């Protein structure tokens, strides 16, 4: 939030938004907070042309609000809605960013009496575990802005609103802009924006797209100055890339002998300042003329005899922060004796240093507890933001160890007693390597007690009492120094206590009684067998599908009990029944034939049966069951159950009726040809499923067989990633890969993985790049009839002409935006780079695809309306207290 700026603060009654040629918004995050789900998202804001999306997928709490109806016309669209937080102390947005990269982070708050109470809210804004800003409307301001430049220490960014009094926190927009890493470098800490100005008599302010980083530049001018300007192009190619429009004008003192002075003051006398001064000589100087000046900061020369370069940007900046005596600051440009012309100034940025001393909780612990939260569907409102710090906002049920503020805290105690947990004890717990006590009592947990609990060396107390756990308690949990409470689990027993009792001698009378009962039972069984031979339905039930009639598989080392799952186990006879004796084949893969089936509870299902010729066996079967047991994502096929009876192995899935992506690209089997927009949405959803495997699972997973035939489409053409038999976990922490036997599909297989046997998540990224090329071209991945047989070689050769149409699927009939097509092509080739280090992450892929989809939605909306969106140049008002908040007239 910007403070009083002394002479810099002037009332600007109205300004016109200055719109330049549209530029790419790659990696931008622009959230319209509180935008209802039934409104278009994302949408293009008419004035800045920025794409704003709803914030619903980035926060789990809060309610939608809207400024008073009679005041909506005062504000541009993103600032008319808001999200407010009447419940809980801390409510947090969770955003994916690039670790170690500088980011511009900006939040807007527009009150406009949305609640009708006219109560001027006051609350705190946190970045992770650290206080960023106090948002204070006590001064009767309409809106407040908080903006900083910050380098995240992890790939997750938490922006939190914290209630500090009786008023309710709220937020209007949240914007994240990745910056260049070779600019705005500090000794320590982050940079909180104090002000940003360009010097002109114009009333236009500059923002995106004239500034590629979407920095907002306010115009400012003093009466004792004269403006100079140019219509020629000014080169802005330095590390800071100041907007060209800011460089095309400059201020000079009207009295050519006088210094050009900028002054400001702050009540925070200990502020440390970094400043960035942008210059360009924009006048054609005569031979006898020269412009040279000294730059002073609070009377001290920081740069002498400076000559601004001709029609080229040059930025002077403070390498170390400076302070101002008594809070009064002065920056002066003073003409030297050799100069014939006065000093000039194009633009100025001033920031204060903000320290974030509290380290975030250990990243592996955070990932682990987040996955525990997802697995059990824990919806506690306190489980937002950093789990451990600040301590007064620590998550309920957690305790953490903290040595000092610079050391990441570790989670040491986890209490989920009486939390309504269902399913098995999740293996995500084992990643909490500093855990000392674990309380899972009074829940509805089932299955066996896992061995890993006893192998957690720091764990000294476990309470699993009052659940429905079963089986033997592992020997590892009976080690010295570990206290285990397990009462109230009727099916759970210590080693040896579950053995059947020794046989005892029976009286003769009892033996006779037992024999008579046995004879009766044998008679009944014989009669049943006779009747079955006469029953046609029994004969049909004995039929087996040809694919498994002679399968000979042994599982001596893989008993059924090794599959730890809370999914339903089906008998083979139930499988025969649900498939109507394997009547309808709907597909075939490496595991075997897939049959259509039906279950009363689930409706239609797909039953995948292990075949005799399958290259996959029990290991892959178990891998798929184990993976799908613990993953829950809308873009992954759901496992309903399995059959593991003798030599009969089957997996029962939800039925996905619209086939696979490959069929709809080719139109085979009577499938429809899908348009460009639908293709984009499908690959966004498939990429989201992969991103979940890579970042949302503990441990993370590599699919290893990503291809168009494994992207299934439901009745609404929503994508479901399928076939996880080859999936493998990959390491986290210092290890970057896992060595494994090569597996996958020819053409989609990562060449680096094939060459080195080193599997990483980037192997999936490569395969997904091939999927994108298929989506664009509708060409085979490998075609020996082509001069360039592999699709990557073929598209690279074809687009050398510079015409994207040369590779686009002709079935699209050129109904696509060429810019969008080029972006997808560039993304696909980046994914399919021969070097895994040069491939993007799946998170980056998802962001890029969503941008393309948003552009396509906007294009189609325009077409449907029959007219282009109006390019308005409506005037706006900028309020003094925010300096750049756009308000419509």
Show which residues are catalytic. Answer: 705
Structure tokens at 861: 């909306």
Write the DSSP string, 318-386: -SS-B--GGGEEEEEEEE-TT-SB---B-EEEEEEEE---SPPP-HHHHHHHHHHHHHHT---TT--S-
Interatomic CA distance for residues 371 and 856, integer angstroms: 33
The candidate with the shortest Cα–Cα distance to 27, out of 100, 104, 82, 83, is 104
Answer yes or no: are the C-beta atoms of 325 and 337 closer than 8 Å. Answer: no
Whole-angstrom CA distances from 757 to 279, 396, 729, 741, 792 are: 54, 44, 14, 7, 22
For residue 832, give the nearest of 730, 751, 743 by alpha carbon. 751
- Phi/psi of residue 286, each to 5°? -75, 165
Beta bridge partners of 255: none
Q: Is the dihedral of CA 178, 182, 183, 186 positive or negative?
A: positive
Q: Are the CB atoms for 172 and 81 separated by under 8 Å? A: yes
Q: Tokens 């503020």 label which residue?
A: 405
Say how far apart CA 17 and CA 219 lie, in whole Å.
11
Collect all residues with Cβ–Cβ distance below 8 Å to 854 and sequence separation of at least 6.
42, 51, 53
CA pair distance 444, 377, nearest whole angstrom: 13
* Composition of the chain by helix, strand, coil, percent to 5: 25, 30, 45
Residues 159, 700: Cα–Cα separation, whole Å? 25
Ligand-binding site membership of 49 (annotated) = no
* Cα dihedral value 110, 112, 114, 117, nearest 10: 120
List alpha helices for 605-675, DSSP H: 618-630, 661-666
* Bind-site residues: 608
Binding site as annotated, residues for ATP = 608
């Amino acid at each position: 939030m910007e403070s009083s700026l002394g002479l810099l603060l002037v009332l600007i009654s109205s300004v016109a938004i200055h719109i330049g040629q549209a530029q790419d918004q790659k990696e931008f995050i622009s959230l319209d907070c509180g935008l209802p789900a039934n409104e278009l998202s994302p949408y293009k804001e008419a004035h800045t042309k920025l794409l704003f999306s709803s914030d619903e997928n980035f926060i789990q709490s809060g309610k939608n609000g809207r400024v008073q109806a009679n005041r909506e016309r005062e504000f541009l669209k993103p600032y008319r809605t808001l999200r407010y937080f009447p419940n809980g102390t801390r409510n947090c947005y969770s955003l994916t960013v690039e670790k170690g990269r500088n980011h511009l982070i900006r939040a807007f708050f527009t009150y406009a009496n949305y609640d009708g109470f006219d109560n001027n809210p006051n609350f705190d804004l946190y970045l992770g575990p650290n206080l960023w800003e106090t948002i204070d409307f006590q001064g009767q301001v309409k809106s407040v802005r908080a903006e900083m430049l910050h380098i995240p220490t992890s790939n997750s960014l938490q922006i939190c609103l914290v209630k500090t009094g009786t008023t309710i926190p709220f937020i209007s927009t949240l914007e994240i802009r990745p910056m260049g890493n070779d600019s705005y470098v500090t000794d320590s800490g982050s940079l909180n924006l104090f002000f940003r100005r360009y010097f002109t008599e114009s009333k236009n302010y500059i923002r995106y797209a004239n500034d590629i980083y979407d920095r907002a530049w306010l115009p400012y001018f003093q009466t004792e100055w004269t403006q100079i300007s140019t219509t020629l192009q000014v080169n802005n190619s330095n590390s800071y890339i100041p907007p060209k429009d800011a460089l095309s004008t400059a201020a000079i003192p009207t009295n050519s002998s006088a210094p050009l002075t900028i002054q400001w003051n702050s009540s925070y006398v200990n502020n440390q300042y970094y400043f960035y001064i942008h210059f360009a000589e924009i006048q054609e100087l005569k031979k006898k003329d020269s412009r040279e000046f000294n730059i002073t900061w609070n009377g001290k020369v920081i740069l002498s005899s400076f000559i601004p370069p001709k029609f080229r940007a040059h930025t002077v900046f403070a390498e170390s922060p400076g302070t101002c005596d008594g809070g009064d600051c002065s920056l002066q440009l003073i003409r030297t004796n050799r100069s014939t012309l006065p000093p000039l100034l194009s633009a100025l940025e001033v920031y204060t240093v903000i320290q974030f001393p509290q380290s975030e909780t250990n990243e592996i612990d955070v990932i682990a507890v987040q996955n525990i939260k997802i697995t059990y569907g824990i919806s506690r409102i306190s489980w937002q933001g950093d789990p451990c710090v600040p301590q007064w906002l620590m998550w309920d049920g957690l305790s953490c160890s903290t040595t000092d503020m610079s050391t990441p805290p570790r989670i040491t105690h986890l209490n989920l007693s009486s939390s309504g947990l269902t399913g098995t004890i999740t293996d995500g717990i084992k990643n909490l390597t500093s855990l000392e006590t674990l309380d899972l009592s009074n829940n509805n947990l089932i299955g066996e007690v896992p061995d890993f609990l006893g192998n957690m060396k720091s764990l000294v107390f476990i309470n699993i009492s009052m659940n429905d756990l079963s089986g033997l308690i592992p020997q590892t949990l009976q080690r010295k120094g570990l206290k285990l409470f397990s009462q109230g689990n009727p099916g759970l027993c210590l080693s040896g206590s579950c053995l059947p009792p020794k046989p005892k001698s029976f009286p003769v009378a009892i033996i006779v009684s037992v024999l008579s009962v046995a004879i009766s039972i044998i008679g009944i069984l014989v009669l049943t067998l006779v009747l079955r031979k006469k029953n046609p339905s029994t004969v049909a039930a004995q039929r087996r599908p040809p694919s498994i009639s002679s399968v000979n598989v042994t599982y001596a080392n893989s008993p059924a009990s090794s599959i730890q799952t809370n999914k339903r186990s089906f008998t083979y006879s139930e499988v025969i029944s649900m498939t109507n004796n394997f009547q309808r084949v709907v597909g075939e893969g490496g595991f075997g034939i897939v049959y259509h089936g039906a279950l009363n509870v689930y409706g239609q299902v797909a039953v995948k049966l292990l075949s005799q010729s399958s290259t996959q066996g029990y290991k892959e079967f178990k891998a798929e069951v184990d993976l799908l047991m613990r993953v829950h994502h809308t873009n992954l096929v759901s496992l309903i159950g399995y059959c593991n009876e003798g030599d009969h192995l089957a997996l029962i899935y939800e039925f996905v009726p619209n086939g696979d992506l490959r069929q709809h690209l080719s139109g085979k089997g009577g499938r429809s040809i899908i348009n460009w927009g639908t293709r984009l949405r499908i690959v966004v959803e498939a990429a989201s499923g992969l991103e979940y495997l890579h970042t949302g699972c503990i441990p993370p997973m590599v699919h290893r067989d990503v291809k168009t035939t494994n992207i299934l489409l439901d009745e609404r053409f929503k994508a479901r990633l399928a076939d996880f038999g080859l999936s493998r976990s990959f390491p986290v922490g210092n290890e970057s890969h896992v060595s494994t036997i090569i597996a996958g599909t020819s053409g989609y297989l990562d060449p680096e993985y094939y060459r080195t046997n080193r599997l990483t998540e980037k192997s999936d990224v490569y395969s997904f790049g091939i999927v994108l090329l298929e989506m664009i071209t509708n060409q085979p991945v490998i075609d020996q009839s082509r001069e360039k047989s592999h699709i990557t070689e073929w598209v690279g050769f074809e687009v050398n002409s510079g015409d994207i149409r040369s590779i686009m699927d002709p079935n699209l009939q050129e109904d696509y935006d060429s810019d969008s097509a080029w972006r997808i092509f560039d993304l696909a080739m980046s994914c399919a780079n021969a070097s895994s280090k040069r491939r993007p992450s799946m998170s980056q892929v998802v962001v890029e695809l969503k941008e393309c989809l948003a552009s396509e939605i906007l294009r189609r909306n325009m077409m449907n309306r029959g007219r282009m969106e109006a390019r308005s140049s409506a005037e706006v008002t900028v309020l003094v207290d925010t300096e750049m908040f756009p308000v419509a007239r």
